[in-house]
Chain A
Amino acid sequence: MSPNSGTATAVKAEAPPETDQSRRPQDALTKEDCLEILKQLYLARYFDVRLIKEKKRGHLRGTLYSSHNQEAILVGSLYGLQPNDWVSPIHRDMPAFFLKDAKFKWDDRERMGLSIEEVCAQVWGKSGSPGRARDNWSHIGSRAKHIIHSTSMLAGTIPTATGVAYADRLNRGDAVVVTLNGEGSTAQGIFHEAINFASIHKLPVITVIENNQWAYGTPNELEYALEDFARRADGYGIPGLIADGQDVFDVYDKMMWAVDYSRAGKGPVIIECKTFRAYGHGDHDDDRAAKYRPKPEVDEGRKRDPIAVCKQALIEKGFLTPQEANQWMAEGKNAAEVSNDDFPPEVVQYLDRGIEFAVASPVPEPEEAARWVFKENG
């Protein structure tokens, strides 16, 4: 190793913990935690189905990118993070904005996540949005809350994550940065550039790949040539884990392993979460998706609803009786089939509050469109 070398050394990636069932992070979760996790799954699902209904009633503009069937990845990735950790969601991860640092304190405006009011104001295109509705749908974020602002450039925000992590290291911080991405984005050149850079400097960047098997209208086999996408990590000398994207506790286990690894200064991790996209790419694509994806494939991909999988795990853990598990029955239902009675009332009320705020929030003045191109007030 040359004296001029940076932090990089030739490494063999540490073995992933798939086989180690004796010390699963999920086993340290309390009953209270586990029930909160289930409730967050309901919350993410309800957000999705409610917006689909609101749009069908003509209340919303823009495209909806459903996270239906992928909620376990969001909840499992975020639940164990520290408030100061950063997250970088993309378009299908809208609930991530309000799930960050939400544990037991959804309504706390001071927590390190966006409030449901801010997120709804963004969806409704109102000035109460943190970005004052200048860019659409999921394209919000917050420096103050450590949420990297989403764009349409997909893997284009991964180098933002490396930069955030690098700056945090300069500041002697200990945050990890979790980026959420679809597997489709991993074919972009910037994915390689950013992961390569993170590997060289052992930056605490955890890249979660939500492998929902379809990049818009293109299937996995036309996106990459690996059996498991996670093996892409081998080329960078970093761990590549595989999680069951339908099982919130498996996602949680892999994420907590990655967090410990990254926070200890060992470097970046890729976690491939295997899942399936419930609807079309966006709601504009639902009808066509029904043609390019055969029904048996869709039925197979959706048969393990993350809410049902979570309930079963809670029953096995002894935290839920089968009777309690049947109290709310949102799983397996499309937006059109589900009603408010299928969700815990506090979930419905939470979103009601957000929508009420959004509807009352004014539309920005047209003149605002010309502001904030360059820094104002020096």
Chain B
Amino acid sequence: MSAVAAPAKKNYLTALREALDEEMGRNPDMVCEGEDIGILGGAFGVTEGLQAKYGKERVIDMPISEACIVGNAVGMALNGKTVMAEMQFIDFISCGFDQIVNMLATYYYRTAGEVNMPVVVRGPAGAYGGGALYHSQMNEAWFCNSPGLQVVCPSTPYDAKGLLKSAIRSGNPTIFFEIKELYRKREIEEVLPNEDYLVPLGKAAIRREGTDITLVSYGQNVYHCLAAAQELQGMGISAEVIDIRSLVPLDEQAIYESISKTSRVVVVNEAPMTCGFAGEIVARISQNAFKYLDAPPVRITRLDTPVPWVKPLELYVLPSLEKIVSAAVATVKY
């Protein structure tokens, strides 16, 4: 038995909490606000301990007023603060939509660069947990369609911490999609560096290398893709898995480089198909990397339905290992 204990692995939620804690510690002008984030420590516990450490003035328990949470963040940023604004569930962000797309996203533009908005709006997102219509959404496409917003979605604890820190320090408004099904997922826990680190926005990660087909995704669908790649390997198909990590800005080059090698691509996201981000990726591939393709690019997305509650119904509408494998096989055979 070693005298020094092995460094502890940390989960995705702890990584987020550490990012907030460290950023609050290094920046006295940073403020956190959201529903139940102080006394309770957040519905999921992401902000646990922050109010005790940084005080009620800097860690604000907000009334159930999503629009005011965002609007107040805009005002604080106008007056020199850096703000983390929590949505208790990303589904509720629609209540603050006007403040995000018309006030927050446009501030830098309409003031010709006088006033930037260091505001990160973050919250738990995603399906597969039986959350039903209002606790399962992935509505990232709304914000990708609103110029001025960065849109980020980490899939690992390391990225969750490094991307959140990058977003907070970027000086730009960011919508930060956390995957609540990954918050406490044991299988993805990992040892995080002791020292301060950042993960750059707009830089994709290759999660698995391959030569026959490229699977592009983000969030928890990355794990569906990795499982699919494992299964495809048994069928003699070598799949490369790309985790884009941030949607805006998007690392297009990483996708094109992979396709230049594999000539085939399946793009997976759990948002609905129509006007979803998978469609945007496929459109860019078609326009900019057509010459590499040996088969039409394919989207695997949620059906164009809300997310239903009961398990068989929920899984029916969502991307799955089986759907990805089957699309990949068809694409390779094309």
Using a CB–CB cutoff of 8 Å, the interface residues on chain A facing chain B are 4, 6, 130-132, 134-135, 139, 141-144, 148-149, 151-153, 156-171, 189-190, 193-194, 196-197, 200, 368, 371-376, 378
Scoring B56, B77, B79, B116 by chain A CB atoms within 10 A of each residue's CB, the highest score goes to: B79
* A4 with B39: CB separation less than 8 A: yes
* A135 with B78: CB separation less than 8 A: no
Given the contacts A156-B98, A170-B31, A162 and B79 also touching, CB distance less than 8 Å: no
Q: Could you write out 5 A-B pairs with CB less than 8 Å apart? A: A134-B110, A142-B114, A170-B58, A197-B72, A371-B112
* A160 with B74: CB separation less than 8 A: yes
* A193 with B68: CB separation less than 8 A: yes
A372 to chain B minimum Cβ distance, whole angstroms, is 4
Given the contacts A142-B114, A375-B170, A375-B171, A164 and B108 also touching, CB distance less than 8 Å: no
Given the contacts A6-B56, A130-B114, A165-B75, A190 and B98 also touching, CB distance less than 8 Å: yes
Q: How far is the CA of A190 from the CA of B76 in the complex (A)?
A: 17
Number of residues on chain B facing chain A (CB within 8 A) = 45
Given the contacts A148-B78, A153-B98, A160-B75, A189 and B67 also touching, CB distance less than 8 Å: yes
**B150-167 with Cβ < 8 A to chain A:** 150
**B86-104 with Cβ < 8 A to chain A:** 98-99, 102-103
Given the contacts A160-B71, A193-B65, A197-B68, A372 and B112 also touching, CB distance less than 8 Å: yes
* A197 with B62: CB separation less than 8 A: yes
Q: How far is the CA of A56 from the CA of B109 in the complex (A)?
A: 31
* A194 with B71: CB separation less than 8 A: yes
Q: Output the nearest chain B residue to A127 by Cβ-Cβ distance.
A: B112
Scoring A135, A157, A163, A194 by chain B CB atoms within 10 A of each residue's CB, the highest score goes to: A163
* A190 with B63: CB separation less than 8 A: no
* A160 with B78: CB separation less than 8 A: yes
Q: How far is the CA of A51 from the CA of B111 in the complex (A)?
A: 23
* A151 with B102: CB separation less than 8 A: yes
Q: Which of A153, A167, A171, A193 has a CB less than 8 Å from the CB of B102?
A: A153
* B114 with A171: CB separation less than 8 A: no
* B67 with A159: CB separation less than 8 A: yes
Q: Which of A153, A193, A372 has a CB less than 8 Å from the CB of B103?
A: A153
Q: Output the nearest chain B residue to A142 by Cβ-Cβ distance.
A: B114
Contacts of A200 in B (CB 8 A): 63
Q: How far is the CA of A162 from the CA of B62 in the complex (A)?
A: 13
* A163 with B74: CB separation less than 8 A: yes
**B20-35 with Cβ < 8 A to chain A:** 31
Q: How far is the CA of A143 from the CA of B170 in the complex (A)?
A: 20
B126 close to chain A: CB less than 8 A = no
Given the contacts A6-B61, A131-B110, A166 and B72 also touching, CB distance less than 8 Å: yes
**B38-62 with Cβ < 8 A to chain A:** 39, 56-58, 60-62
Q: How far is the CA of A200 from the CA of B56 in the complex (A)?
A: 13
* A131 with B75: CB separation less than 8 A: no
Scoring B58, B75, B77 by chain A CB atoms within 10 A of each residue's CB, the highest score goes to: B75
Q: How far is the CA of A162 from the CA of B98 in the complex (A)?
A: 17
Given the contacts A134-B112, A170-B31, A163 and B67 also touching, CB distance less than 8 Å: no
B220 to chain A minimum Cβ distance, whole angstroms, is 27
B183 close to chain A: CB less than 8 A = no
Interchain residue pairs A-B with the least CB separation, the first 6: A163-B75, A159-B71, A167-B79, A193-B68, A193-B65, A132-B112
B234 close to chain A: CB less than 8 A = no
**B294-323 with Cβ < 8 A to chain A:** none
* A375 with B102: CB separation less than 8 A: no
Given the contacts A134-B110, A159-B74, A160-B74, A170 and B81 also touching, CB distance less than 8 Å: yes
B73 close to chain A: CB less than 8 A = yes
Contacts of B109 in A (CB 8 A): 134, 372-373
Q: How far is the CA of A148 from the CA of B103 in the complex (A)?
A: 12
Q: Output the nearest chain B residue to A161 by Cβ-Cβ distance.
A: B75
Given the contacts A151-B102, A167-B81, A170-B58, A162 and B75 also touching, CB distance less than 8 Å: yes
* B78 with A143: CB separation less than 8 A: yes
Contacts of B81 in A (CB 8 A): 163, 167, 170
Q: How far is the CA of A169 from the CA of B70 in the complex (A)?
A: 18
Contacts of B72 in A (CB 8 A): 159, 162-163, 166, 194, 197
A135 to chain B minimum Cβ distance, whole angstroms, is 5
A137 to chain B minimum Cβ distance, whole angstroms, is 12
* A156 with B78: CB separation less than 8 A: no
Contacts of A161 in B (CB 8 A): 75
Q: Output the nearest chain B residue to A192 by Cβ-Cβ distance.
A: B65
* A156 with B65: CB separation less than 8 A: no
Contacts of B102 in A (CB 8 A): 151-153, 156
Q: How far is the CA of A149 from the CA of B102 in the complex (A)?
A: 12
* B115 with A164: CB separation less than 8 A: no
* B114 with A163: CB separation less than 8 A: no
A242 to chain B minimum Cβ distance, whole angstroms, is 26
Contacts of A167 in B (CB 8 A): 31, 75-76, 78-81
Contacts of A373 in B (CB 8 A): 108-109, 147-148
A231 to chain B minimum Cβ distance, whole angstroms, is 22
* A374 with B108: CB separation less than 8 A: yes
* A143 with B114: CB separation less than 8 A: yes
Contacts of B148 in A (CB 8 A): 373-374
Contacts of B99 in A (CB 8 A): 156, 159, 190
Q: Output the nearest chain A residue to B62 by Cβ-Cβ distance.
A: A197
B107 close to chain A: CB less than 8 A = yes
A116 to chain B minimum Cβ distance, whole angstroms, is 19
Contacts of B147 in A (CB 8 A): 373
Q: Output the nearest chain A residue to B249 by Cβ-Cβ distance.
A: A374
* B110 with A135: CB separation less than 8 A: yes
Contacts of A169 in B (CB 8 A): 57
A148 to chain B minimum Cβ distance, whole angstroms, is 7
B7 close to chain A: CB less than 8 A = no
Q: How far is the CA of A171 from the CA of B81 in the complex (A)?
A: 10
B56 to chain A minimum Cβ distance, whole angstroms, is 6
